[in-house]
Structure formats: C-alpha cells, structure tokens
C-alpha cells in the first residue's frame, strides 16, 4: 500500500474520530522525533549504565 493510500485512509478515519486522530498524529510525531534523537538516547542510556 502506498504512502498516499495510507494517508487517505488515515484522514478518512480521522474525520470519523478526531480525538483518536490527534493521538495518532502526536504518536507519529513523537516516533519521528524519537527516531531522529535515537542515537542521542542510546548514548545517554549507555552513559547512565
């Protein structure tokens, strides 16, 4: 399934339940920033260990 198809399905569901959509968007943004900061988090975890 293409990214555009997934996005279309997501927004169709989002219009049906805006609260769930907000939670999903927040989770995706957290995962995206977490992925960018993943190396830093791993380094911090190793430093604490």
pLDDT digits (tens, 9 = 90+) for 15-38: 777 777 778 777 777 777 666 555
Residue 15 lies in a domain: no
Name the residue range of residue 27's domain: 22-49
pTM: 0.32
Of 2, 19, 21, nearest to 10 by C-alpha is: 21
With a cut of 80, say whether residue 39 has pLDDT above it.
no
Helix, strand, coil % over all residues of the chain, rounded to 5: 90, 0, 10
State whether residue 2 is helix, strand or coil.
Answer: coil
Is residue 38 a part of any domain in this protein?
yes
Look at residue 16 and tell me if it is in a domain. no
Tell whether 46 is covered by a domain.
yes
**Strand ranges (DSSP E) for the chain?**
none
């Amino acid at each position: 399934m293409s990214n555009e198809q997934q996005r279309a399905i997501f927004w169709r569901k989002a219009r049906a339940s805006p609260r769930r959509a907000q939670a999903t968007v927040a989770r995706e943004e957290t995962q995206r920033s977490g992925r960018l900061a993943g190396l830093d988090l791993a380094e911090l975890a190793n430093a604490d260990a």
